[in-house]
Amino acid sequence: MEGNKKMEVKVYPSLLSVNVLNVEYSIRLVEKIADGLHVDIMDGHFVPNLSYGPSFVEAIKKRTDLSLNVHLMVKEPEKFVDLFIDAGVDELGFHIETTYHPQRLIKYIRDHGVRPFVTLNPVTPLNSIEYLLGDVDMVLLMTVNPGYGGQEFLRFCLKKVRRLREMAVREGISLDIMVDGGIDLSTAPLVVDMGANILISGYGIFGSNDPADTILKMKSLKFKEV
């Protein structure tokens, strides 16, 4: 597809892996080269962990011009979206497993000036979002089971990335496919080869010796038309 040919690999460092006592310092390490920042919101129910809230997102928004990509790992995301829209997010996503009315929620988010996306856990089938691809231009595929940073990449997800890209090409949709979970310099080429074009990485970036250089190397990967 013409849209896919023009795609470049983008990188969103995940703030789940920063030094929480010096978040701003971590942002300064990457903000000149990163394409955005990814923020995981965990409620301790949908995933077995707790993380940041809207006040954190609002504070980050005041300290950087990078776009904020916020991933809601929460039950009943309808109860949370207004809080994060008001906090100034640029992209806001929820898990397809958590709502009965995803299309309505997608429209609500977009109508409030925020770019919506849907997220799938590793074992959630792609047919759960097949009929939503006309409503979103971003999908996040988890390549670990969500809840904790630093987990090992699940290689069976590679086929899922490829199938989603093939679905988008077949439907004529220029779709941003994000991947999150175990993404580092060894796994990034694998997912890009399968059709992913946005890499979300926490420990793979902030756990490296040179976060900015790691991002540069990830961004140098060439998106391949499927």
Phi, psi of 17 (to 5 degrees): -105, 10
The pLDDT value recorded for residue 45 is: 84
Query: CA-CA distances (angstroms) from residue 40 to 16, 161, 193, 195, 213?
Result: 7, 21, 25, 23, 23
**What does the pLDDT look like over 45-98, one tens digit per residue?**
888 788 889 999 999 999 999 999 999 999 999 999 999 999 999 999 999 999
DSSP H helix total and E strand total for the chain: 9, 8
Q: Flag whether pLDDT at 173 surpasses 60.
A: yes
E strand map for the chain: 10-13, 37-42, 68-73, 91-95, 115-120, 138-142, 176-180, 198-201
Among the listed residues 35, 43, 176, 180, the single catalytic one is 180
129 is written with which tokens?
Answer: 């979002």
* Fold that domain 2-219 belongs to in CATH: TIM Barrel (3.20.20)
Q: Which two tokens stand for residue 107?
A: 């429209």
Q: Specify which residues 80 forms β-bridges with.
A: none
- Residue in 35, 40, 43, 176 annotated catalytic: 40
Q: Is the pLDDT of residue 5 over 70?
A: no
Query: Is position 180 annotated as part of the catalytic site?
Result: yes
Active site residue 35: no
**85 by DSSP, 3-state: which?**
helix
**Tokens at residue 95, please?**
């898990």
Can you tell me the distance from the alpha carbon of 98 to that of 104, in angstroms, rounded to the nearest whole number? 13
Dihedral sign from CA coordinates of 41, 43, 47, 177: negative
Q: What confidence category does residue 20 fall into, taking pLDDT thresholds of 50, 70 and 90?
A: confident
For tokens 């207004």, what's the residue?
Answer: 82
d(CA 70, CA 84): 8
